[in-house]
């Protein structure tokens, strides 16, 4: 697939929950937005092919919890306001206003990479 022309799709959880696990194989370019809701997902191997996969996750008065295989390198970028962000057990922020920036050591050389761009406002983000 030509990564320069990423497909895009958006899922909205408004006062409910969405599970990204159902998007296996089509996660690249996906945006998931939870407003007063929850985003969950077990992003297994078929969801994250060789190369860099990008997703956008936003939680406003909500939460997002994603499971990523340990052999997949993770990069997290974005913003959190009055929120907590935890990546693979490491607390990235917990408080007023933060720019999220995390990258697995050796990210650029990893076979499979997941770049998660986030916006979390009055909520929480956990990536295992």
Per-residue pLDDT, 5: 46
* Residue 58, strand partner residues: 33, 119
Give the start-to-end residue ranges of the domains of the chain: 9-127
Assign 4 a pLDDT band (cuts: 50, 70, 90): very low
Per-residue pLDDT, 1: 39
pTM for the full predicted model: 0.85
The closest alpha carbon to 124, from 8, 25, 9, 37, belongs to 37
What does the pLDDT look like over 92-111, one tens digit per residue?
Answer: 776 678 787 889 999 999 99
What does the pLDDT look like over 33-85, one tens digit per residue?
Answer: 999 999 998 887 677 889 999 999 999 999 999 999 999 999 999 999 998 88
Answer yes or no: are the C-beta atoms of 66 and 127 closer than 8 Å. yes
């Amino acid at each position: 697939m030509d990564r320069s022309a990423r497909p895009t799709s958006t899922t909205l959880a408004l006062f409910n929950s969405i599970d990204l696990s159902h998007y296996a194989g089509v996660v690249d370019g996906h945006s998931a937005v939870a407003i007063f809701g929850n985003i969950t997902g077990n992003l297994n191997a078929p969801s994250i092919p060789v190369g860099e996969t990008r997703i956008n996750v936003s939680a406003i008065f909500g939460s997002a919890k994603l499971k990523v295989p340990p052999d997949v390198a993770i990069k997290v970028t974005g913003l959190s306001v009055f929120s907590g962000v935890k990546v693979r057990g490491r607390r990235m922020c917990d408080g007023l206003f933060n720019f999220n920036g995390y990258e697995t050591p050796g990210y650029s050389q990893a076979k499979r990479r997941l770049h998660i761009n986030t916006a979390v406002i009055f909520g929480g983000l956990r990536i295992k």
